[in-house]
Structures are given as C-alpha cells and as structure tokens.
Amino acid sequence: MGKAIKKLAVLTSGGDSPGMNAAIRSVVRTCAYHDIECVGVYRGYEGLIEGDFKAMDARSVKGIINKGGTILKSARSKEFRTEEGRKKAFKQLTDANIDGLVVVGGDGSFTGALIFNQEFDFPVMGIPGTIDNDIYGTSHTLGFDTALNTVVDAIDKIRDTASSHNRLFFIEVMGRDVGHIALNTGIAGGAEEILIPEEDLGLDRLVESLNKSRKSGKTSSIVIVAEGDKIGKNIFELKDYVDDNMEGYDVRVSVLGHMQRGGAPSCFDRVLASRMGVKAVESLLEGETNYMVGLLNNSVELTPLDKAIKGKSKINLELLRVSDIMST
C-alpha cells in the first residue's frame, strides 16, 4: 500500500473517442464505491493548470454511458509542456487536496502524465482512449470498436452507389501512422484493396490488382486507404494516378474524417471503459502509479507508462493474409 488516497481527479486529453464518457462514469462510480472523493478536470491539462475542477459523485455521471465525446471536454495544452506549466498544475492539485490522477487519452497524454509523475512524485494512471488503436500494451483502445462499426456502415452505403454506377471508390479512414482501422474495416466491408502504412503495395501493383479484379467480373470496387499510407502523397494523388493508368472505372474519393470519432459507443467499448475505470482507480488505491490500464487476452492488465509510450502496436499479420484471400 502507498500513501492513502482520499481524493482522485480524472481528465480526458488529446483527441476524443467514443467510450471516454463511459470511462469517466466508471472512475467516478468506483470512487463512490470505495468512499473516496472524485473531481472532474475540464479541458484536459489546460484545465489542470487553471484549476478548472468540479466535484463529481455517482449521480453526476448518470445518462452518459451512451454518449460520444467527453463531458469533461478535451484541449491541447502548450503550457503543460513547460516546467512552469506543470508546477502550476501541481499546485492546483495540492491546493485541492487531490491525491491521484486518472488520465484518459493517447500516448501524448501519457507522456505528459509520466513527466508530471517524475517531477512531482504524483500518482498517475492512464486509460487508453483513441480510435486509432495505436497504443502498446492493449489489444483495444477505447473508441476503436465503435469507429470500426461507424466506418463499416459508411462503406456499406458507399458500395451501394459504387455498384449502381460501376465506380471505383477510394475511401480514406483515420489511424494516424497505423492501419488497424483500415485493415479491419477493409475486410469487414469487402474491400478489393487495403492500403496501410505497414505494407507498401506500390502504385503499379495497385493498378495491376484493380485490373485483375475487373477482368474477374467485378464492375465496381472499394479501396480502403489509411490516412498514414505511404503509397502516394494523399488519396487524391492516388485517384489521379489510377485515372491516368486505368480505363473503365469512374473513380471517386470519400474522406470519412472526424465522423469516425463520433457517435454512441458500442457495447464493447462501454464494457471495456467500465472495466478499465475500475482497474485504474483500484490500482491507485493499492499504491500503483505510472501504469496504463489495458486489455490483454481479454484480461485487464497494467503496462508501465514508459513502455506504453515507447512501444509500437503491431498489425495483425493473419488479417493481412485473410485480406489477400478475400480480395480474390
């Protein structure tokens, strides 16, 4: 057991993701269950510096488990990146008699939490909240499953119009520098090709593959493109290249953008957020600090924050093989 914790704070930082509200709810209600106070921090680290706190109890979080986004809001904080900014945040926490901090966010948010702990020996615990699923130490981040369902629904709708007009659609999905969203939704949506940063298909091979699909009798095609894919400068350059080197298709582009971050969280994300929130609070109460809560082999486990930050999530090689077979 570490220092007795009587009051915890929770904040959301970085890009929003479905399931953040469910995680806030879980943290607050776990605190209530263990009879400790809980404070919500508005606008991430910026609110931490300004002392934008609000006391929260079990009733404060009613009706939010099904809501997308985050009721605590999120903001980028340049000031928290400075030592002076972090000193202000520490003073706000100590003045409010707060003993520990739960941070819901991605690797940038975790980096801030780790540095804060190292400088002030302040207990911190991370919950991975990002649709990109690019955090080491967990098979699923909060919002990833919901984003997959959102993208697949969009692909299904686009395929309807693609089939009606014999069109080739390039659909760009989020994922930053990883292809988890693209690979999973490409398989689920029946895409003819999936372009991800981890695998460089090459422009010529892409055209060759699309020509092969057309000769096999396909009159329309869907190509899923991860935003971090390196095959071209951007998705519009891909369209232009295919227009110039391939006949027979009316080529269109659809960039799904931030709609992938919105919407009610899936059942999976609601349950995952609930499990992670309980684990985060109870781990802090047990004296643990500098960890991220993650899902490994369907068990909620702790990964050191430095490993979660420095590690790299890996693409599922089996899914790559499945994708190749399914595009035959």
3-state secondary structure of 152: helix
- Does the annotation flag 108 for ligand binding? yes
- Does the annotation flag 59 for ligand binding? no
Q: Which residues contact residue 197 at a Cβ distance below 8 angstroms, ignoring those fewer than 6 apart? A: 177, 178, 179, 226, 228, 229, 230
- Does the annotation flag 130 for ligand binding? yes
- Does the annotation flag 73 for ligand binding? no
- 132 annotated active-site: yes
Q: For residue 302, what are its two tokens? A: 């702790």
Give the DSSP per-residue string, 157-180: HHHHHHHHHTEEEEEEE--TT--H
- Does the annotation flag 252 for ligand binding? yes
- Does the annotation flag 76 for ligand binding? yes
- Does the annotation flag 19 for ligand binding? no
State the SS3 of 8-58. Answer: EEEEECCCCCCCHHHHHHHHHHHHHHCCCEEEEECCHHHHHHHCCEEEECH
Q: Torsion-angle region of residue 295: left (phi > 0), alpha (psi -120 to 50) or beta?
A: beta
- Report how far residue 99's alpha carbon sits from residue 124's, in angstroms, rounded to the nearest whole number: 9
- Does the annotation flag 174 for ligand binding? yes
- Report how far residue 258's alpha carbon sits from residue 321's, in angstroms, rounded to the nearest whole number: 29
- Does the annotation flag 279 for ligand binding? no
- Does the annotation flag 261 for ligand binding? yes
Catalytic residue selected from 132, 145, 229, 269: 132
β pairing state of 37-41 and 53-56:
antiparallel
- Does the annotation flag 140 for ligand binding? no
> Which residues fall in the annotated binding site?
15, 25-29, 76-77, 106-109, 130-132, 159, 167, 174-176, 190-192, 218-220, 227, 252, 258-261
> Which residues fall in the annotated binding site for substrate?
130-132, 167, 174-176, 227, 252, 258-261
> Which residues fall in the annotated binding site for ADP?
25-29, 159, 190-192, 218-220
> Which residues fall in the annotated binding site for Mg(2+)?
107
> Which residues fall in the annotated binding site for ATP?
15, 76-77, 106-109
Catalytic residues: 132
